């Protein structure tokens, strides 16, 4: 495994202990440290899921929660765990996993830690399209925190995907030059695009009826309250398709870390791979935004945390996906059981991610000035 090229010298080589993983005709070389981090993260995620199902207005012991999930427990406990709490927990897990994987793909694709769907404006494009559906649908579109009926199942996810894809296409076309993708240009254009889409979303809210604007604003805060299987199923379907596609792209992503010219020399179809990575990242982030609203900074922070835990040369895809689930499920626990008042999960993730963004910017400026 090879690190990114240094600015003032040859590319350093980092040799990490790794073991092969084979699934049918496909195979991957998995670093041992990354595999151990992923296994531990899966265990922590399983523990947080049990905690999330056990806490609330009516607490249920951990052992009873596990027994209920395995078709045990009394009818009252089954109703609370399976019908009331499990759908929201599954939505939190899937949203975090989708955003974590999307962020890892974007940051690897651009070779820039600032390149995540929320920083680049992709999430803002999905949010703008979804709010347009909510506002233009009027009273039939959004009510009490849930998009109902056919609009929720079909219209909102499609609108969010279309908005995110259009934003990503504009961003890509504006950032590509003859020499390849300019990552600094990508981030700068993405920040400007996000600001413009945020202003457009605010304009939509000012033109909407009061009830529709209030409902859309609740959704824009990234709330997990009241989420059910109708939000979980689209996220599960997209994740089931995009995760294998992302794993197939791993070898090309590793080659792209060496630079565009080196990747072409290794036989990577650069533009085709970049488009596929963008499609995967946009689909994952858009379906998460459609289900729970924009959960700020999850796609930005999680891949960098995974990178530092695994010690690789790029954000690990599977580890970032699992850590994303940990962050959002943890935010759900905080908003429901730790805080004395109700708070959208998106505010909790923003409180965690904003200081990290400031630290990363300061650290980057110090490196450039050194």
Q: Where are the domains of the chain?
A: 26-369
User: Per mean pLDDT, which of 29-38, 96-105, 272-281, 288-297 is the most reliable?
Assistant: 96-105
Q: How many CB atoms are closer than 10 A to CB 320?
A: 31
Distance set, CA 29 to CA 39, 156, 256 (Å)? 16, 39, 17
Instruction: Find out whether 207 and 216 touch, Cβ atoms under 8 Å.
Output: no
Burial 125-162 (b: 16+ CB within 10 A, else e): bbbbbbbbbbbeeeeebbeeebbeeebbeebbbbbbbb
Confidence (pTM):
0.83
Residue 321 has pLDDT above 80, yes or no: yes
CA angle 253, 256, 261 (to 5 degrees): 155
Q: How far apart are CA 133 and CA 358, in angstroms?
A: 33
Angle between helices 122-137 and 183-207 (to 10 degrees): 20
- What per-residue confidence (pLDDT) applies to 110? 83
pLDDT at 365 over 70: no
Bigger pLDDT: 75 or 244?
A: 244
At the fourth CATH level, the homologous superfamily of domain 26-369 is ABC transporter involved in vitamin B12 uptake, BtuC (1.10.3470.10)
pLDDT at residue 244, as a whole number: 93
Confidence tier at 320 by pLDDT (50, 70, 90): very high
Does the pLDDT at position 179 exceed 70? no
> Does residue 45 carry a pLDDT above 90?
yes
Helices (H), 72-176: 75-78, 86-110, 117-120, 122-137, 149-150, 156-175
Q: What's the Cα-to-Cα distance from 194 to each of 55, 66, 158, 197, rounded to whole Å?
A: 37, 43, 20, 5
């Amino acid at each position: 495994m090879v690190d990114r090229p240094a600015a003032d010298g040859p590319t350093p080589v980092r040799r990490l202990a790794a073991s092969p993983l084979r699934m049918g005709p496909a195979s991957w070389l998995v670093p041992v440290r990354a595999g151990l981090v992923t296994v531990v993260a899966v265990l922590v995620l399983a523990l947080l899921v049990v905690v999330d199902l056990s806490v609330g207005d009516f607490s249920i012991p951990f052992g009873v929660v596990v027994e209920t999930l395995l078709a045990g427990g009394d009818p009252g406990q089954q109703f609370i765990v399976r019908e009331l709490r499990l759908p929201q927990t599954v939505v939190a897990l899937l949203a975090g996993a989708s955003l974590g994987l999307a962020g890892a793909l974007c940051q690897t694709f651009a070779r820039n830690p600032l390149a995540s769907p929320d920083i680049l404006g992709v999430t803002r494009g999905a949010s703008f399209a979804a709010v347009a559906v909510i506002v233009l649908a009027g009273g039939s579109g959004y009510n009490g925190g849930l998009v109902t009926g056919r609009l929720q199942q079909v219209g909102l996810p499609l609108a969010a995907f279309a908005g995110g894809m259009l934003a990503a296409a504009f961003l890509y076309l504006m950032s590509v030059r003859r020499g390849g993708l300019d990552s600094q240009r990508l981030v700068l254009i993405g920040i400007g695009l996000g600001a413009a889409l945020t202003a457009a979303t605010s304009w939509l809210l000012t033109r909407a009826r009061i009830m529709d604007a209030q409902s859309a604003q609740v959704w824009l805060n990234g709330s997990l309250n009241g989420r059910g299987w109708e939000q979980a199923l689209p996220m599960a379907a997209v994740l089931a398709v995009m995760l294998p596609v992302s794993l197939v792209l791993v070898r090309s992503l590793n080659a792209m870390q060496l630079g565009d010219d080196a990747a072409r020399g290794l036989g990577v179809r650069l533009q085709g791979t970049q488009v596929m990575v963008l499609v995967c990242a946009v689909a994952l982030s858009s379906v998460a935004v459609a289900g729970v609203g924009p959960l700020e900074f999850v796609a930005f922070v999680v891949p960098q945390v995974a990178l530092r835990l695994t010690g690789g040369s790029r954000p690990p895809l599977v580890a970032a996906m699992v850590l994303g689930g940990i962050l959002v499920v943890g935010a759900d626990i905080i908003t429901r059981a730790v805080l004395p008042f109700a708070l959208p999960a998106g505010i909790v993730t923003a409180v965690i991610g904003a200081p990290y963004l400031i630290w990363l910017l300061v650290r980057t400026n110090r490196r450039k000035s050194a």
